Structure 1
C-alpha cells in the first residue's frame, strides 16, 4: 500500500488515495463492482487510485471530529450516503458512521429508500459537516446525506458508501456536495473534472500521472492533449450528465439507432447501449474478423494473423463533435483474444459512456453552465497490451450499484419529458428502473 500525503497549494487541495491490488473478475463473476476514487477541492487537483482500471475510491469526512470514509465518486447519482455503525444488515465496510461520536450530527424526520437495479439502501436523511481529502481543512456545513440503516446486494461494492456528483434533480432538490461547496464559498465554481489513468488493467503497478478528480476546476494542460476543449450541452433537468447522441459509427459504417441520449458516467466501467445497436456493432466487427459471443460479449481472435490495431475505430458523435475510440481503448487484449468492453442495456434506449470513454477523454463537468467539456486524454493508447493466464475473457463492470448508480423515477420522467417536448422518442427504462421514496419517521 502506498499513501500519498495531502497538501494545499494555491487554493488547491491535493487528496491522496491508496494503491492496492484487486482480482479481475471472470465471466462467471459478473456482478456490479464498486468504484474507487481520489479527488480534489477548490481550483484543485488530487491523485486518484487506479485499481486495475476497475475501481476508483476516495475519502470523505463526516462529523465533528471528522470520521473517515472511502466512497464511490459517481456522476450517475446525487445522494451522499454511508452506513451506520448500528446497521446489522449492511454490506461489509471498513468504516461506518457513529452518530454518538459527532457533536454536529442532525437527524431529520425523513426515512429515505434508494432502490437500485440489483439492491437497495435505506436510512435516515441527516445533516452533517462534510469534508474531502486526506487531511481536510475545509468542510461544507449542513450537508444532506443518508445514514444507511439497511442495504442489500452490495457485497461487491468495495466502499463505505457513495458520493453522488449528479444534479440536484436526483436528490429531490437537496444540494449535492459540489453545489453546497459552491454555495458556501468553499470552491469558486461548481465545476469538477475527471482524469482516469490507464494502468493496463493491472499490467502496470503505477501510472504517471495518477488518476485525478478536481473539484472546483480543471487542468487541461496537465491531463489533456494540446487541443481545444469541446463542450456539449448537459440536460440538467434530467438530473444526469446526459448529452445528445447524434451518431454512432463503427469504422465507416453508421449504426442504425433509435437512441438520442448518452450519459457520461464515472460509475460504469464499460460502454453500454441498447441491445439492437450493440448487436449491430458486434455484427459489423464479426463479419470482418474471427469472433464469437460469450455471455453476451464479443470476443475476437487477435493473435498471430490479426493485430488489435486491425480493428476499426468506434465513433460517437455528441451534438456536432466526433469522439473516436481506438480498438486499444475499447478492447481488452488477453493472449490471442480481444474482448470488446461494450455491453448491452437490453431494451433501454440510451447509451452509457463509462470509464472506457473517460479514460480516452479528460472530462470537465460544468454545473455552472450545464455543459460537459472533453479534451483528448494524455493516456497512451496501450489498453490492449494485456496478457492474462486464464483462458476466459475478462468482463469488467463497475457501477456505483449497477450500470448507473441511481436511475430514479423522477429522472426517468424528466428525460422522457425532455424528449417528448422535442418530439423525440422518450427514454425507455425497463429493467433497471429503481424507485425512491420518503417515509416520515
Structure 2
C-alpha cells in the first residue's frame, strides 16, 4: 500500500511523483484515470514561456543515466483530446515515493516529441488484455506485489486544501463517512464508446440552491465515466443549458463557457449527482471556476462544457467525491468526500471494500461566504487534518510550486489501443485552450 501526494496545479490538473531508473530520477506526471499508459518527457520548447517554466519543473528521465534502462525499439503515437505524444517504449525500474523497493522492468513511453503537453501522463485505467498489450502501471503494482489488490482510491481534495492523495492498494477511511456505495463498472460492450473505462450509471442530476428547493433535471440518467485527467465535466447540451440558466448565465459565450456571477461561489448551494446508494453534492464554489485576468479582473464560469457524444465527470465533480477504483471486481466504490484526518490502510481483499466504515461522523458542509468547509469530526482518535497531505516523502521540485499561466495539455485526453479518445469535441478543445490562458 502506498499513499502518494497529488500536487494540484491551479485546480486544473493533479500530479504524482514517480522515481524512475537506477539511480532514481524523480519525475512528476499528470494523474489520469481516463487513459491507460504511462509516458514521460514532454517537449517544452514549443510551449509559451510561462508553460515552459512549469514543463521544465516536472522533471525528466534520462535513460542513459540509468543502469537498468532497456530500449524496446518500439514506437507509438498517443493521441489525446488536446495534444499528442510520440513515444518510444522503454523498460526500467519505477518506485513510488517512500517505497522500500522499486518495481523492475516496468514498460512506459519516453516522448521523442509532444504537442500541447505540459507533463507526462500516468494513465491508470484498465491495462493488459483490455487496452494495452503489456502490463500497465496498475497491473505491475499488483503483479510485483507492491499492492495486495488491483485497486486504488482517489481524493483530489477541495480547492481550499490545494492538494490530494491517491492510495494504491488501500483506502483512507478518514476521507468519508459511512459506507462506500458499490457501483458496477459498465462493461465495454455496453458502454457509450465501447472502450473499457470507468463507466458507471448516474441516476439523475439536480441543483439545490441556498433556498433548499431542489430542482431535478429531466433526461439526466446516463452513463458517465470518472476522469481525473479532465478539468471540466462534460454533459449533454440540454443539461448544460439548464444549469447555465439556473446559475443566471446568458448562455455559452464565444469561448464555449457559461459565464456566471462570481458571488455565487460564496453561496451554500450544491449541484447534486445521484447514483445507486449515494448522492455526491458538489458545492457551488467547487462547481464554479474562478480566474483573474491580466488586469486583476475576476471572472467566473461553470465547470462544465456540452458534449452530445461523450459524458464524463471531471475534476469539478471529482473534488467532491471519494472514489475507490476496483479493477478486480470491476466496480467503483464511492462516497461524499470529507476530511477528518489521515488513516490510509492496505486492502487485503476487494471484498473488504463493501464493509469498510468511514471514520468521519459527518459529511462535508460548506460555509457560505467563505468557500471553506466546516471540519467533520473523526469517530476515533485520528487527528484532524488541514489538508489531504501524504505520508510519503517527496524529493525534487514540486511542479505545483510554480504558477505558470496554463495547465496540463493532457486534460481531457487519453489514448487507448482502440485509438483516439472521443471525449473532446471541437467546442471543448476551444474552451480548454481559452481556459488554460485564463488560469
Give secondary structure in 1 for the equivalent of 2:171. coil
Question: Equivalents in 1 of 2:251, 2:60: separation in Å?
Answer: 45
The one of the two structures with greater contact order (alpha-carbon pairs below 8 A, sep at least 6) is 2
Kindly indicate whether the alpha-carbon contact (under 8 Å) linking 1:89 and 1:149 is maintained by their aligned counterparts in 2. Answer: no
Counterparts of 2:265 and 2:234, CA distance in 1: 24
Q: Residue 138 in 1 paired to residue 101 in 2?
A: yes
Aligned to 2:303: 342
**Residues 1:107 and 2:107 are matched in the alignment:** no
**Which residue is equivalent to 2:280?**
323
Once the two structures are superposed, what CA deviation does each residue of 1:289-340 show, in whole Å capped at 9, x if it has no partner? x76654333333465xx884375x4222234643332323323578998845
Q: Which runs of 5+ in 1 are unaligned?
A: 1-41, 201-205, 388-395, 414-426, 435-441
Distance between the aligned counterparts of 2:149 and 2:83, measured in 1?
A: 34
RMSD: 3.7
The counterpart of 2:178, out of the listed 211, 214, 227, is 227
Structure 1 residues 247-326: aligned runs within 5 Å: 247-251=204-208, 252-257=214-219, 260-286=222-248, 294=253, 295-301=255-261, 303=263, 308-309=266-267, 311=269, 313-319=270-276, 321-326=278-283
Post-superposition Cα deviations, 1:223-270, rounded to whole Å, max 9, x if no partner, equal 11x221111112364332221123222344433437722111111222
TM-score by length of 2: 0.68
In 2, the alpha carbon distance for the partners of 1:342 and 1:257 equals 20
Aligned residue runs from structure 1 range 32-431, under 5 A: 42=1, 44-83=2-41, 92-94=55-57, 95-133=59-97, 135-154=98-117, 157=118, 159=119, 161-168=120-127, 171-200=131-160, 211-220=164-173, 222-224=174-176, 226-235=177-186, 237=188, 238-251=195-208, 252-257=214-219, 260-286=222-248, 294=253, 295-301=255-261, 303=263, 308-309=266-267, 311=269, 313-319=270-276, 321-332=278-289, 339-350=300-311, 352-379=312-339, 380=364, 381=366, 385=370, 401-403=410-412, 405-408=413-416, 410=418, 431=426
Deviation at 1:407, TM superposition (A): 4.7
Give the 3 Å change call, closer, same or farther, for CA 227–84 of structure 1 in structure 2.
Answer: closer
Shift of 1:119: 1.5
Shift of the alpha carbon at 1:75? 0.7
Q: 2:434 matched to which residue of 1?
A: none
State TM-score, norm by structure 1. 0.68
State the aligned residue count.
348
Q: In 1, Cα distance between the equivalents of 2:131 and 2:45?
A: 26
Q: Distance in 1 between matches of 2:202 and 2:227?
A: 14
User: 2:131, 2:185 → 1: CA distance?
Assistant: 17
CA pair 275-408 structure 1, distance change in 2 beyond 3 A = farther
Is the Cα contact below 8 Å between 2:234 and 2:313 reproduced in 1? yes
